[in-house]
């Protein structure tokens, strides 16, 4: 498995994982337990979206499209 995306928080990680799953790429969100380690302070950089090695290239392409669209709408 490889990290396809390093999310800012657990919510963003699940949004990306949902995008990948909707496109038939199995995705795993890691860092659930680390998120709460800092209590009320939002932990950043601990939540990653992992995909199988063979899905990494397609996953990155979908994520880049998502990010480009998100920036265009801002």
Q: What is the DSSP letter of 42?
A: P
Domains defined for the chain, CATH in brackets: 2-73 (3.30.70.1530)
Residue 29 near residue 13, CB atoms below 8 Å? yes
Strands 2-7, 47-51: pairing is: antiparallel
**pLDDT tens figures, 18-74:** 999 999 999 999 877 655 555 544 555 578 999 999 999 999 999 999 999 875 665
How many C-beta neighbours within 10 Å does residue 12 have? 15
Residue 8 above 90 pLDDT?
A: no
Cα distance from N-terminal residue to C-terminal residue, the chain: 32
**pLDDT tens figures, 54-67:** 999 999 999 999 99
Helices (H) and strands (E) counted in the chain, each on its own, are 3, 3
């Amino acid at each position: 498995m490889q990290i396809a995306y390093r999310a800012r928080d657990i919510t963003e990680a699940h949004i990306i994982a949902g995008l990948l799953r909707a496109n038939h790429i199995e995705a795993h969100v890691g860092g659930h337990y680390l998120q709460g380690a800092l209590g009320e302070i939002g932990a950043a950089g601990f939540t990653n979206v992992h995909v199988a090695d063979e899905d990494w290239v397609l996953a990155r392409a979908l994520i880049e499209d998502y990010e480009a669209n998100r920036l265009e709408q801002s």
